Chains A and B, each alone.
Chain A
Amino acid sequence: MRVRTHRTVSPWLFLLPGLAITLAFNLYPFLSTAYKAFTDARTLTAGSWVGLENFRQLLSDELFWVALRNSLLYVALVVPFTVLLPLLLALLVEQRIPGVAFFRSAFYTPVVASVVVVGLIWSWMLDDRGLVNSLLVTLGADRVNFLGDQWLLLFSAMALTVWKGLGYYMIIYLAALGNVPRELHEAAAVDGAGPVRRFVSVTVPAVRSTMVLVGALSSVAAFKVFSEVYLLAGPDGGPAGADTTLVMLVQRVGTGLGGRVGYASAISLVIFAIALALMLLVLRADRKEDAP
Protein backbone atom coordinates (compact mmCIF):
# COMPACT_ATOMS: atom_id res chain seq x y z
CA MET A 1 0.00 0.00 0.00
CA ARG A 2 1.33 3.35 -1.00
CA VAL A 3 -0.76 5.69 1.14
CA ARG A 4 1.31 6.92 4.06
CA THR A 5 1.12 5.13 7.38
CA HIS A 6 -0.39 7.10 10.23
CA ARG A 7 1.27 7.88 13.48
CA THR A 8 -1.85 9.06 15.25
CA VAL A 9 -4.56 7.03 16.96
CA SER A 10 -7.06 7.85 14.24
CA PRO A 11 -7.36 4.32 12.77
CA TRP A 12 -8.79 3.13 16.06
CA LEU A 13 -11.08 6.13 16.26
CA PHE A 14 -12.42 5.13 12.86
CA LEU A 15 -12.97 1.58 14.07
CA LEU A 16 -14.39 2.49 17.46
CA PRO A 17 -18.16 2.58 16.79
CA GLY A 18 -18.23 -0.53 14.63
CA LEU A 19 -15.88 -2.54 16.77
CA ALA A 20 -17.59 -1.54 20.02
CA ILE A 21 -21.02 -2.63 18.77
CA THR A 22 -19.68 -5.86 17.28
CA LEU A 23 -17.78 -6.78 20.44
CA ALA A 24 -20.54 -5.80 22.85
CA PHE A 25 -23.56 -7.16 21.01
CA ASN A 26 -22.22 -9.98 18.84
CA LEU A 27 -19.03 -11.53 20.11
CA TYR A 28 -19.53 -10.99 23.84
CA PRO A 29 -23.09 -12.41 23.75
CA PHE A 30 -21.73 -15.42 21.91
CA LEU A 31 -19.11 -16.08 24.59
CA SER A 32 -21.68 -15.48 27.29
CA THR A 33 -24.07 -17.93 25.59
CA ALA A 34 -21.33 -20.54 25.42
CA TYR A 35 -20.68 -20.07 29.14
CA LYS A 36 -24.26 -19.84 30.35
CA ALA A 37 -25.18 -23.04 28.55
CA PHE A 38 -23.35 -24.77 31.42
CA THR A 39 -25.09 -22.84 34.21
CA ASP A 40 -28.60 -22.67 35.63
CA ALA A 41 -28.82 -18.89 35.03
CA ARG A 42 -32.19 -17.18 34.88
CA THR A 43 -33.10 -13.75 33.60
CA LEU A 44 -32.49 -12.04 36.92
CA THR A 45 -29.98 -14.41 38.52
CA ALA A 46 -26.50 -15.23 37.29
CA GLY A 47 -26.78 -18.90 38.24
CA SER A 48 -24.00 -21.36 39.00
CA TRP A 49 -22.05 -23.95 37.05
CA VAL A 50 -24.01 -27.15 36.45
CA GLY A 51 -21.77 -28.84 33.91
CA LEU A 52 -23.63 -30.80 31.25
CA GLU A 53 -26.91 -30.81 33.17
CA ASN A 54 -28.72 -28.61 30.60
CA PHE A 55 -27.69 -30.86 27.75
CA ARG A 56 -28.73 -33.93 29.74
CA GLN A 57 -32.13 -32.32 30.21
CA LEU A 58 -32.33 -31.53 26.51
CA LEU A 59 -31.99 -35.19 25.65
CA SER A 60 -35.09 -36.05 27.66
CA ASP A 61 -37.06 -32.94 26.71
CA GLU A 62 -39.74 -34.10 24.30
CA LEU A 63 -40.41 -30.58 23.00
CA PHE A 64 -36.73 -30.17 22.12
CA TRP A 65 -36.87 -33.22 19.88
CA VAL A 66 -40.09 -32.02 18.29
CA ALA A 67 -38.48 -28.61 17.65
CA LEU A 68 -35.28 -30.15 16.28
CA ARG A 69 -37.28 -32.38 13.95
CA ASN A 70 -39.38 -29.44 12.74
CA SER A 71 -36.37 -27.23 12.07
CA LEU A 72 -34.50 -29.98 10.20
CA LEU A 73 -37.63 -30.92 8.26
CA TYR A 74 -37.91 -27.25 7.35
CA VAL A 75 -34.45 -27.36 5.76
CA ALA A 76 -35.10 -30.64 3.96
CA LEU A 77 -38.39 -29.57 2.41
CA VAL A 78 -37.76 -25.85 1.79
CA VAL A 79 -34.25 -25.85 0.33
CA PRO A 80 -34.93 -27.91 -2.84
CA PHE A 81 -37.64 -25.41 -3.77
CA THR A 82 -35.59 -22.29 -2.95
CA VAL A 83 -32.72 -23.63 -5.05
CA LEU A 84 -34.80 -24.65 -8.07
CA LEU A 85 -37.85 -22.37 -8.38
CA PRO A 86 -35.95 -19.04 -8.32
CA LEU A 87 -33.62 -20.39 -11.01
CA LEU A 88 -36.57 -21.20 -13.26
CA LEU A 89 -37.99 -17.78 -12.47
CA ALA A 90 -34.69 -16.12 -13.34
CA LEU A 91 -34.67 -17.90 -16.71
CA LEU A 92 -38.19 -16.61 -17.27
CA VAL A 93 -37.29 -12.95 -16.65
CA GLU A 94 -33.81 -13.11 -18.17
CA GLN A 95 -34.91 -12.44 -21.76
CA ARG A 96 -35.26 -8.82 -22.71
CA ILE A 97 -38.88 -8.90 -23.77
CA PRO A 98 -41.19 -5.89 -23.34
CA GLY A 99 -42.42 -5.41 -19.76
CA VAL A 100 -39.93 -7.80 -18.21
CA ALA A 101 -38.49 -5.15 -15.89
CA PHE A 102 -41.94 -4.69 -14.39
CA PHE A 103 -42.28 -8.42 -13.75
CA ARG A 104 -38.86 -8.59 -12.09
CA SER A 105 -39.78 -5.83 -9.68
CA ALA A 106 -43.20 -7.30 -8.99
CA PHE A 107 -41.69 -10.71 -8.19
CA TYR A 108 -39.36 -9.04 -5.70
CA THR A 109 -42.15 -7.36 -3.73
CA PRO A 110 -42.62 -10.16 -1.15
CA VAL A 111 -38.94 -9.76 -0.21
CA VAL A 112 -39.44 -6.11 0.68
CA ALA A 113 -42.47 -6.74 2.88
CA SER A 114 -41.99 -7.59 6.54
CA VAL A 115 -42.40 -11.24 7.43
CA VAL A 116 -45.09 -10.14 9.87
CA VAL A 117 -47.07 -8.48 7.10
CA VAL A 118 -46.89 -11.48 4.78
CA GLY A 119 -47.50 -13.84 7.69
CA LEU A 120 -50.73 -12.05 8.51
CA ILE A 121 -51.74 -11.92 4.85
CA TRP A 122 -51.24 -15.67 4.54
CA SER A 123 -53.01 -16.50 7.76
CA TRP A 124 -56.04 -14.56 6.48
CA MET A 125 -55.84 -16.24 3.06
CA LEU A 126 -55.55 -19.73 4.60
CA ASP A 127 -58.23 -19.07 7.22
CA ASP A 128 -61.16 -21.50 7.42
CA ARG A 129 -63.25 -18.91 5.64
CA GLY A 130 -60.42 -17.15 3.81
CA LEU A 131 -59.67 -16.70 0.13
CA VAL A 132 -58.16 -20.11 -0.56
CA ASN A 133 -60.99 -22.06 1.05
CA SER A 134 -63.54 -19.84 -0.56
CA LEU A 135 -62.00 -20.59 -3.97
CA LEU A 136 -61.94 -24.31 -3.14
CA VAL A 137 -65.63 -24.27 -2.24
CA THR A 138 -66.46 -22.31 -5.38
CA LEU A 139 -64.68 -24.95 -7.45
CA GLY A 140 -66.70 -27.65 -5.71
CA ALA A 141 -63.96 -28.97 -3.43
CA ASP A 142 -64.08 -29.38 0.36
CA ARG A 143 -62.71 -26.85 2.79
CA VAL A 144 -59.20 -27.57 4.08
CA ASN A 145 -58.31 -26.66 7.64
CA PHE A 146 -54.81 -25.41 6.80
CA LEU A 147 -54.09 -23.80 10.16
CA GLY A 148 -55.73 -26.39 12.39
CA ASP A 149 -53.68 -29.44 11.46
CA GLN A 150 -50.13 -29.83 12.72
CA TRP A 151 -48.66 -30.91 9.38
CA LEU A 152 -50.72 -28.72 7.06
CA LEU A 153 -49.74 -25.77 9.21
CA LEU A 154 -46.05 -26.56 8.98
CA PHE A 155 -46.29 -27.11 5.22
CA SER A 156 -48.14 -23.80 4.85
CA ALA A 157 -45.36 -22.02 6.73
CA MET A 158 -42.80 -23.69 4.44
CA ALA A 159 -44.72 -22.54 1.37
CA LEU A 160 -44.71 -19.03 2.82
CA THR A 161 -40.93 -19.16 3.28
CA VAL A 162 -40.39 -20.35 -0.29
CA TRP A 163 -42.80 -17.71 -1.66
CA LYS A 164 -41.12 -14.89 0.28
CA GLY A 165 -37.64 -15.91 -0.87
CA LEU A 166 -38.44 -16.36 -4.58
CA GLY A 167 -37.55 -12.82 -5.63
CA TYR A 168 -34.40 -12.61 -3.51
CA TYR A 169 -32.80 -15.75 -4.91
CA MET A 170 -34.08 -14.88 -8.40
CA ILE A 171 -31.92 -11.73 -8.34
CA ILE A 172 -28.87 -13.75 -7.26
CA TYR A 173 -29.45 -16.17 -10.13
CA LEU A 174 -29.98 -13.35 -12.64
CA ALA A 175 -26.50 -12.02 -11.89
CA ALA A 176 -25.05 -15.51 -12.42
CA LEU A 177 -26.97 -16.14 -15.63
CA GLY A 178 -25.57 -12.91 -17.05
CA ASN A 179 -22.16 -14.58 -17.07
CA VAL A 180 -23.26 -17.69 -19.00
CA PRO A 181 -22.09 -17.39 -22.62
CA ARG A 182 -25.11 -17.31 -24.90
CA GLU A 183 -23.24 -19.36 -27.51
CA LEU A 184 -23.50 -22.41 -25.26
CA HIS A 185 -27.28 -22.31 -25.45
CA GLU A 186 -27.31 -21.64 -29.14
CA ALA A 187 -24.92 -24.45 -29.88
CA ALA A 188 -27.06 -26.83 -27.85
CA ALA A 189 -30.17 -25.63 -29.65
CA VAL A 190 -28.52 -26.20 -33.02
CA ASP A 191 -27.64 -29.71 -31.88
CA GLY A 192 -31.36 -30.25 -31.41
CA ALA A 193 -31.50 -30.19 -27.61
CA GLY A 194 -34.96 -29.30 -26.26
CA PRO A 195 -35.56 -26.81 -23.45
CA VAL A 196 -35.41 -29.44 -20.66
CA ARG A 197 -32.22 -30.93 -22.07
CA ARG A 198 -30.65 -27.46 -22.41
CA PHE A 199 -31.61 -26.65 -18.82
CA VAL A 200 -30.05 -29.82 -17.43
CA SER A 201 -26.88 -29.91 -19.51
CA VAL A 202 -26.12 -26.22 -20.14
CA THR A 203 -27.77 -23.97 -17.52
CA VAL A 204 -27.35 -26.10 -14.41
CA PRO A 205 -23.61 -26.78 -14.86
CA ALA A 206 -23.01 -23.10 -15.67
CA VAL A 207 -24.68 -21.79 -12.50
CA ARG A 208 -23.83 -24.70 -10.22
CA SER A 209 -21.71 -22.68 -7.81
CA THR A 210 -24.52 -20.14 -7.47
CA MET A 211 -26.93 -22.98 -6.75
CA VAL A 212 -24.61 -24.08 -3.96
CA LEU A 213 -24.48 -20.54 -2.59
CA VAL A 214 -28.28 -20.30 -2.64
CA GLY A 215 -28.44 -23.73 -1.03
CA ALA A 216 -26.13 -22.63 1.78
CA LEU A 217 -27.91 -19.34 2.38
CA SER A 218 -31.36 -20.86 2.33
CA SER A 219 -30.55 -23.91 4.44
CA VAL A 220 -29.15 -21.77 7.25
CA ALA A 221 -32.13 -19.41 6.96
CA ALA A 222 -34.62 -22.29 6.92
CA PHE A 223 -33.03 -23.92 9.93
CA LYS A 224 -33.39 -20.70 11.93
CA VAL A 225 -37.05 -20.27 11.01
CA PHE A 226 -39.10 -18.41 13.58
CA SER A 227 -41.53 -15.80 12.27
CA GLU A 228 -43.40 -17.75 9.62
CA VAL A 229 -44.34 -20.57 11.99
CA TYR A 230 -44.88 -18.22 14.92
CA LEU A 231 -47.33 -16.11 12.94
CA LEU A 232 -49.31 -18.97 11.42
CA ALA A 233 -49.25 -21.22 14.50
CA GLY A 234 -49.33 -18.62 17.26
CA PRO A 235 -46.91 -18.21 20.18
CA ASP A 236 -47.55 -21.73 21.49
CA GLY A 237 -46.54 -23.40 18.26
CA GLY A 238 -49.83 -24.81 16.98
CA PRO A 239 -51.84 -27.76 18.33
CA ALA A 240 -50.12 -28.98 21.53
CA GLY A 241 -46.95 -27.12 20.51
CA ALA A 242 -46.34 -29.67 17.76
CA ASP A 243 -45.16 -27.00 15.32
CA THR A 244 -42.56 -25.45 17.62
CA THR A 245 -39.19 -24.81 15.95
CA LEU A 246 -35.84 -24.52 17.73
CA VAL A 247 -35.74 -20.72 17.63
CA MET A 248 -39.34 -20.57 18.86
CA LEU A 249 -38.30 -22.80 21.75
CA VAL A 250 -35.41 -20.48 22.61
CA GLN A 251 -37.71 -17.48 22.52
CA ARG A 252 -40.31 -19.18 24.73
CA VAL A 253 -37.91 -20.71 27.25
CA GLY A 254 -35.38 -17.90 27.59
CA THR A 255 -37.29 -14.63 27.64
CA GLY A 256 -39.50 -12.88 30.14
CA LEU A 257 -38.67 -12.27 33.77
CA GLY A 258 -38.55 -15.96 34.69
CA GLY A 259 -36.64 -16.96 31.54
CA ARG A 260 -34.43 -20.04 31.92
CA VAL A 261 -31.37 -18.39 30.38
CA GLY A 262 -29.04 -21.33 31.00
CA TYR A 263 -31.31 -23.85 29.36
CA ALA A 264 -32.11 -21.51 26.44
CA SER A 265 -28.37 -20.95 25.97
CA ALA A 266 -27.83 -24.68 25.65
CA ILE A 267 -30.47 -24.80 22.88
CA SER A 268 -28.82 -21.73 21.29
CA LEU A 269 -25.49 -23.55 21.16
CA VAL A 270 -27.17 -26.45 19.39
CA ILE A 271 -28.62 -23.99 16.87
CA PHE A 272 -25.21 -22.40 16.34
CA ALA A 273 -23.48 -25.74 15.85
CA ILE A 274 -26.03 -27.09 13.39
CA ALA A 275 -26.24 -23.82 11.42
CA LEU A 276 -22.46 -23.75 11.07
CA ALA A 277 -22.36 -27.43 10.12
CA LEU A 278 -25.04 -26.91 7.45
CA MET A 279 -23.11 -24.02 5.94
CA LEU A 280 -19.80 -25.90 5.92
CA LEU A 281 -21.44 -29.02 4.54
CA VAL A 282 -22.98 -27.22 1.58
CA LEU A 283 -19.89 -25.14 0.86
CA ARG A 284 -17.65 -28.20 1.04
CA ALA A 285 -19.81 -30.02 -1.45
CA ASP A 286 -19.07 -27.14 -3.83
CA ARG A 287 -15.33 -27.21 -3.31
CA LYS A 288 -15.20 -30.92 -4.02
CA GLU A 289 -17.06 -30.51 -7.27
CA ASP A 290 -14.90 -27.60 -8.33
CA ALA A 291 -11.68 -29.56 -7.91
CA PRO A 292 -10.22 -30.38 -11.34
Chain B
Amino acid sequence: MKRMSRRERILRYALLLLVLVITIGPFLWQLSTSLKSPAEDVYSDPPRLLPGDPTLENYSGVAEIIPVWDYALNSLKVAAANVVTNCVGASLAGYALARLRFRGRKIAGLLFVMALLVPLESIIIAQFTTMQQLELNNTLVAVVLPGAVGALNVLLMRNAFQALPYELEEAAVIDGANVWQRFLRIGLPAVRGTLAVVAIFAFMTAWDDFLWPLIVLSDSENFTLTVGLNFLHGTFQNDPRLVAAGTVIAVAPLIVMFACLQRYFFRGVGEGAVKG
Protein backbone atom coordinates (compact mmCIF):
# COMPACT_ATOMS: atom_id res chain seq x y z
CA MET B 1 0.00 0.00 0.00
CA LYS B 2 1.12 3.49 -0.86
CA ARG B 3 2.46 5.41 2.11
CA MET B 4 0.42 8.35 3.21
CA SER B 5 2.03 11.70 2.53
CA ARG B 6 2.82 13.94 5.48
CA ARG B 7 0.23 16.47 4.37
CA GLU B 8 -2.50 13.87 4.06
CA ARG B 9 -1.65 12.52 7.48
CA ILE B 10 -1.95 15.93 9.12
CA LEU B 11 -5.21 16.62 7.31
CA ARG B 12 -6.63 13.28 8.44
CA TYR B 13 -5.80 13.85 12.08
CA ALA B 14 -7.20 17.38 11.92
CA LEU B 15 -10.49 16.02 10.58
CA LEU B 16 -10.54 13.23 13.16
CA LEU B 17 -10.08 15.76 15.94
CA LEU B 18 -12.81 17.99 14.53
CA VAL B 19 -15.30 15.09 14.47
CA LEU B 20 -14.14 14.08 17.94
CA VAL B 21 -15.05 17.53 19.27
CA ILE B 22 -18.45 17.33 17.59
CA THR B 23 -19.32 13.83 18.86
CA ILE B 24 -17.75 13.83 22.34
CA GLY B 25 -17.75 17.56 23.08
CA PRO B 26 -21.44 17.73 24.09
CA PHE B 27 -20.96 14.93 26.64
CA LEU B 28 -17.92 16.63 28.15
CA TRP B 29 -19.77 19.96 28.29
CA GLN B 30 -22.58 18.20 30.17
CA LEU B 31 -20.10 16.60 32.57
CA SER B 32 -18.47 19.96 33.15
CA THR B 33 -21.85 21.63 33.78
CA SER B 34 -22.75 18.94 36.31
CA LEU B 35 -19.58 19.68 38.28
CA LYS B 36 -20.08 23.45 38.50
CA SER B 37 -21.09 24.80 41.89
CA PRO B 38 -24.29 26.85 42.31
CA ALA B 39 -22.13 29.92 42.86
CA GLU B 40 -20.55 29.60 39.43
CA ASP B 41 -22.16 31.31 36.46
CA VAL B 42 -23.06 28.62 33.91
CA TYR B 43 -24.30 31.21 31.41
CA SER B 44 -21.09 33.22 31.03
CA ASP B 45 -19.94 34.63 27.68
CA PRO B 46 -17.45 33.35 26.66
CA PRO B 47 -18.36 29.94 28.12
CA ARG B 48 -16.14 28.53 30.83
CA LEU B 49 -15.28 25.06 29.66
CA LEU B 50 -13.96 23.76 32.98
CA PRO B 51 -15.67 24.09 36.34
CA GLY B 52 -13.82 26.67 38.44
CA ASP B 53 -14.46 24.86 41.69
CA PRO B 54 -15.52 21.26 40.89
CA THR B 55 -18.16 19.85 43.24
CA LEU B 56 -20.39 16.77 43.47
CA GLU B 57 -23.16 18.82 45.10
CA ASN B 58 -25.43 18.61 42.05
CA TYR B 59 -25.48 14.82 42.24
CA SER B 60 -26.98 14.92 45.72
CA GLY B 61 -29.03 17.96 44.69
CA VAL B 62 -30.76 16.12 41.83
CA ALA B 63 -31.57 13.25 44.20
CA GLU B 64 -33.47 15.67 46.41
CA ILE B 65 -35.73 16.78 43.58
CA ILE B 66 -36.42 13.43 41.93
CA PRO B 67 -35.61 9.98 43.38
CA VAL B 68 -32.95 9.51 40.77
CA TRP B 69 -31.38 6.44 42.41
CA ASP B 70 -34.79 4.69 42.62
CA TYR B 71 -35.31 5.48 38.94
CA ALA B 72 -31.87 4.08 38.16
CA LEU B 73 -32.80 0.93 40.07
CA ASN B 74 -36.07 0.66 38.09
CA SER B 75 -34.11 1.02 34.85
CA LEU B 76 -31.65 -1.59 36.03
CA LYS B 77 -34.45 -4.04 36.87
CA VAL B 78 -36.09 -3.51 33.48
CA ALA B 79 -32.80 -3.86 31.63
CA ALA B 80 -31.74 -6.98 33.56
CA ALA B 81 -35.12 -8.63 33.02
CA ASN B 82 -34.94 -7.76 29.33
CA VAL B 83 -31.53 -9.42 29.06
CA VAL B 84 -32.70 -12.64 30.73
CA THR B 85 -35.97 -12.98 28.80
CA ASN B 86 -34.34 -12.19 25.47
CA CYS B 87 -31.39 -14.54 25.95
CA VAL B 88 -33.58 -17.42 27.10
CA GLY B 89 -36.51 -16.85 24.72
CA ALA B 90 -34.47 -16.04 21.64
CA SER B 91 -31.99 -18.88 22.00
CA LEU B 92 -34.75 -21.45 22.61
CA ALA B 93 -36.81 -20.28 19.65
CA GLY B 94 -33.75 -19.79 17.47
CA TYR B 95 -32.58 -23.33 18.20
CA ALA B 96 -35.96 -24.83 17.33
CA LEU B 97 -36.14 -22.89 14.07
CA ALA B 98 -32.60 -23.82 13.04
CA ARG B 99 -32.12 -27.33 14.37
CA LEU B 100 -35.40 -29.13 14.96
CA ARG B 101 -37.67 -30.46 12.30
CA PHE B 102 -41.39 -30.32 12.93
CA ARG B 103 -44.64 -29.38 11.24
CA GLY B 104 -45.27 -25.65 11.23
CA ARG B 105 -41.63 -24.63 11.45
CA LYS B 106 -41.83 -22.48 8.34
CA ILE B 107 -44.94 -20.72 9.62
CA ALA B 108 -43.32 -20.10 13.00
CA GLY B 109 -40.31 -18.56 11.27
CA LEU B 110 -42.55 -16.43 9.11
CA LEU B 111 -44.40 -15.08 12.15
CA PHE B 112 -41.13 -13.69 13.53
CA VAL B 113 -40.27 -12.10 10.19
CA MET B 114 -43.73 -10.52 10.04
CA ALA B 115 -43.35 -9.14 13.54
CA LEU B 116 -40.14 -7.50 12.37
CA LEU B 117 -42.01 -5.63 9.66
CA VAL B 118 -44.47 -3.98 12.04
CA PRO B 119 -43.05 -0.69 13.33
CA LEU B 120 -43.36 -0.57 17.09
CA GLU B 121 -44.68 3.00 16.91
CA SER B 122 -47.70 1.90 14.88
CA ILE B 123 -48.90 -0.61 17.49
CA ILE B 124 -47.99 1.23 20.64
CA ILE B 125 -51.57 2.35 21.36
CA ALA B 126 -52.82 -1.22 21.00
CA GLN B 127 -50.06 -2.41 23.32
CA PHE B 128 -51.18 0.23 25.79
CA THR B 129 -54.81 -0.94 25.70
CA THR B 130 -53.66 -4.57 25.93
CA MET B 131 -51.76 -3.73 29.12
CA GLN B 132 -54.83 -1.89 30.35
CA GLN B 133 -56.88 -5.06 29.87
CA LEU B 134 -54.27 -7.16 31.62
CA GLU B 135 -54.32 -4.58 34.43
CA LEU B 136 -50.57 -4.26 34.13
CA ASN B 137 -50.44 -0.57 33.29
CA ASN B 138 -48.09 1.46 35.43
CA THR B 139 -45.94 -1.55 36.36
CA LEU B 140 -42.39 -2.42 35.41
CA VAL B 141 -43.66 -5.78 34.11
CA ALA B 142 -45.61 -3.90 31.47
CA VAL B 143 -42.45 -2.04 30.47
CA VAL B 144 -40.61 -5.33 29.87
CA LEU B 145 -43.29 -7.55 28.32
CA PRO B 146 -43.67 -6.25 24.73
CA GLY B 147 -39.94 -6.51 24.03
CA ALA B 148 -39.29 -9.54 26.22
CA VAL B 149 -38.34 -11.72 23.25
CA GLY B 150 -37.44 -9.54 20.28
CA ALA B 151 -38.18 -11.06 16.87
CA LEU B 152 -34.85 -9.76 15.58
CA ASN B 153 -33.04 -11.57 18.39
CA VAL B 154 -34.84 -14.82 17.56
CA LEU B 155 -33.71 -14.53 13.95
CA LEU B 156 -30.15 -13.66 14.98
CA MET B 157 -29.98 -16.76 17.18
CA ARG B 158 -31.51 -18.88 14.43
CA ASN B 159 -28.79 -17.73 12.03
CA ALA B 160 -26.09 -18.45 14.60
CA PHE B 161 -27.36 -22.01 15.22
CA GLN B 162 -27.74 -22.60 11.49
CA ALA B 163 -24.08 -21.76 10.95
CA LEU B 164 -22.91 -24.57 13.26
CA PRO B 165 -21.67 -27.76 11.59
CA TYR B 166 -24.04 -30.70 12.04
CA GLU B 167 -21.18 -33.05 12.95
CA LEU B 168 -21.05 -31.27 16.27
CA GLU B 169 -24.44 -32.65 17.24
CA GLU B 170 -24.34 -35.97 15.46
CA ALA B 171 -21.87 -37.40 17.94
CA ALA B 172 -24.15 -36.37 20.78
CA VAL B 173 -27.16 -37.94 19.09
CA ILE B 174 -25.25 -41.21 18.82
CA ASP B 175 -24.36 -40.93 22.49
CA GLY B 176 -28.08 -40.76 23.21
CA ALA B 177 -28.28 -37.14 24.32
CA ASN B 178 -31.80 -35.74 24.11
CA VAL B 179 -32.72 -32.47 22.52
CA TRP B 180 -32.50 -30.40 25.73
CA GLN B 181 -29.05 -31.78 26.49
CA ARG B 182 -27.85 -31.04 22.97
CA PHE B 183 -29.24 -27.51 23.19
CA LEU B 184 -27.65 -26.78 26.56
CA ARG B 185 -24.30 -28.56 26.25
CA ILE B 186 -23.49 -28.27 22.56
CA GLY B 187 -25.62 -25.62 20.88
CA LEU B 188 -25.51 -22.81 23.41
CA PRO B 189 -21.78 -22.83 24.18
CA ALA B 190 -21.06 -22.71 20.44
CA VAL B 191 -23.10 -19.54 19.86
CA ARG B 192 -22.09 -17.59 22.95
CA GLY B 193 -20.70 -14.74 20.82
CA THR B 194 -24.09 -14.02 19.29
CA LEU B 195 -25.70 -14.55 22.68
CA ALA B 196 -23.45 -11.82 24.09
CA VAL B 197 -24.53 -9.49 21.29
CA VAL B 198 -28.19 -10.20 22.07
CA ALA B 199 -27.59 -9.61 25.80
CA ILE B 200 -25.79 -6.31 25.28
CA PHE B 201 -28.33 -4.90 22.86
CA ALA B 202 -31.19 -6.07 25.09
CA PHE B 203 -29.62 -4.18 27.98
CA MET B 204 -28.96 -1.07 25.94
CA THR B 205 -32.40 -0.84 24.32
CA ALA B 206 -34.19 -1.34 27.63
CA TRP B 207 -32.00 1.14 29.51
CA ASP B 208 -32.37 3.77 26.77
CA ASP B 209 -36.04 3.22 25.86
CA PHE B 210 -38.29 6.23 26.20
CA LEU B 211 -41.57 6.20 24.23
CA TRP B 212 -43.03 2.99 25.65
CA PRO B 213 -42.21 3.59 29.33
CA LEU B 214 -43.47 7.16 28.90
CA ILE B 215 -46.81 5.83 27.71
CA VAL B 216 -47.24 2.91 30.07
CA LEU B 217 -45.94 4.42 33.33
CA SER B 218 -48.14 7.07 34.90
CA ASP B 219 -47.14 7.00 38.55
CA SER B 220 -43.93 8.89 39.19
CA GLU B 221 -42.62 6.33 41.66
CA ASN B 222 -42.43 3.69 38.93
CA PHE B 223 -40.58 5.85 36.43
CA THR B 224 -37.50 4.55 34.71
CA LEU B 225 -34.51 6.85 34.45
CA THR B 226 -35.33 8.20 30.98
CA VAL B 227 -38.91 9.09 31.89
CA GLY B 228 -37.75 10.59 35.18
CA LEU B 229 -35.16 12.74 33.42
CA ASN B 230 -37.77 14.01 31.00
CA PHE B 231 -39.90 14.95 34.01
CA LEU B 232 -36.93 16.69 35.63
CA HIS B 233 -36.30 18.61 32.44
CA GLY B 234 -39.90 19.78 32.28
CA THR B 235 -40.12 21.05 35.84
CA PHE B 236 -36.67 22.23 36.83
CA GLN B 237 -35.17 23.37 33.59
CA ASN B 238 -34.01 26.52 35.30
CA ASP B 239 -31.04 24.74 36.83
CA PRO B 240 -29.00 23.10 34.08
CA ARG B 241 -26.50 21.80 36.65
CA LEU B 242 -29.07 19.44 38.15
CA VAL B 243 -30.32 18.20 34.79
CA ALA B 244 -26.69 17.68 33.78
CA ALA B 245 -26.02 15.60 36.89
CA GLY B 246 -29.08 13.47 36.11
CA THR B 247 -28.03 12.84 32.53
CA VAL B 248 -24.51 11.87 33.61
CA ILE B 249 -25.99 9.30 35.99
CA ALA B 250 -28.08 7.90 33.13
CA VAL B 251 -25.33 7.70 30.54
CA ALA B 252 -22.28 6.71 32.60
CA PRO B 253 -23.12 3.00 33.05
CA LEU B 254 -23.59 2.53 29.32
CA ILE B 255 -20.40 4.34 28.39
CA VAL B 256 -18.47 2.15 30.82
CA MET B 257 -20.13 -0.95 29.43
CA PHE B 258 -19.37 0.16 25.88
CA ALA B 259 -15.74 0.84 26.72
CA CYS B 260 -15.36 -2.71 28.06
CA LEU B 261 -17.35 -4.59 25.41
CA GLN B 262 -16.84 -2.56 22.20
CA ARG B 263 -16.26 -5.62 20.06
CA TYR B 264 -19.79 -6.90 20.67
CA PHE B 265 -21.39 -3.51 20.12
CA PHE B 266 -19.81 -3.25 16.68
CA ARG B 267 -20.65 -6.85 15.83
CA GLY B 268 -24.25 -6.26 16.82
CA VAL B 269 -24.59 -3.35 14.40
CA GLY B 270 -23.41 -5.50 11.50
CA GLU B 271 -25.57 -8.51 12.30
CA GLY B 272 -28.66 -6.52 13.23
CA ALA B 273 -28.56 -4.32 10.15
CA VAL B 274 -27.59 -6.82 7.51
CA LYS B 275 -29.44 -9.92 8.53
CA GLY B 276 -32.41 -8.10 10.00
Chain A residues with CB under 8 Å of chain B are 1-6, 8, 10-12, 14-19, 21-30, 32-33, 36, 41, 43-44, 89, 92-93, 95, 97, 99-100, 103, 105-110, 112-118, 120-125, 127, 129-131, 134-135, 137-138, 163, 166-168, 171-172, 175, 182, 186, 189, 213, 217, 220, 224, 226-227, 231, 234-235, 247, 250-251, 254-255, 259, 261, 264-265, 268-269, 271-272, 275-276
Contact = CB atoms under 8 A, between A and B. Distances in A.
Most buried by A among B12, B114, B170, B251: B251
B230 interface: yes
B47 A134 contact: yes
B101 A15 contact: no
A272 B243 CA distance: 35
Interface string B80-93: 00000100111011
A112 B203 CA distance: 11
B29 A117 contact: no
Interface residues of B, number: 103
Nearest to B95: A14
A109 B26 CA distance: 11
Given A5-B101, A11-B102, A103 B127 contact: no
Contacts of B115: 22, 26-27
B123 A103 contact: no
Most buried by A among B15, B23, B128, B151: B23
**Across the A-B interface, the 9 shortest Cβ-Cβ residue pairs:** A18-B93, A29-B126, A114-B208, A14-B96, A254-B125, A138-B46, A272-B122, A17-B89, A25-B146
A21 B255 contact: no
B39 interface: no
Interface of B: 1-2, 4, 9, 12-13, 15-16, 19-20, 22-24, 26-27, 29-30, 33, 43-47, 85, 88-90, 92-93, 95-97, 99-102, 105, 108, 111-112, 114-115, 117-119, 121-130, 132, 145-149, 151, 154, 166, 169-170, 173, 179-180, 183, 204, 207-211, 214-215, 225-226, 229-230, 233-234, 240, 243-244, 246-247, 250-251, 254-255, 257-259, 262, 265-266, 269-270, 273-274
A17 B30 contact: no
B169 A3 contact: yes
Contact of A135 (B1, B46, B240, B250): B46
Contact of B90 (A18, A97, A217): A18
B125 A18 contact: no
A1 B101 contact: yes
Contacts of A137: 45-46
Given A138-B45, A275-B119, A21 B15 contact: no
Contacts of A112: 204, 251, 254-255, 257-258, 265
Contact of B29 (A24, A109, A114, A131): A131
14 contacts: A10-B180, A14-B92, A17-B93, A25-B130, A33-B122, A43-B128, A92-B12, A92-B19, A112-B255, A114-B226, A163-B23, A175-B274, A261-B129, A265-B126
Contact of A33 (B43, B101, B123): B123
A167 B118 contact: no
Given A18-B149, A265-B125, A24 B100 contact: no
A36 to B, nearest CB: 7
Contacts of B240: 124, 127, 130
B102 A134 contact: no
Given A116-B210, A163-B23, A189-B2, A261 B100 contact: no
Contact of B1 (A105, A127, A182): A182
A97 B250 contact: no
Contacts of B99: 3
Contacts of B117: 276
Given A3-B99, A33-B122, A109-B27, A93 B16 contact: yes
A167 B266 CA distance: 10
Nearest to B128: A255
Contact of B210 (A15, A17, A114, A271): A114
Nearest to A224: B121
A214 to B, nearest CB: 8
A106 B24 contact: yes
A21 B154 CA distance: 12
B22 to A, nearest CB: 7
Contacts of A30: 118, 122-123, 126
A236 B179 CA distance: 54
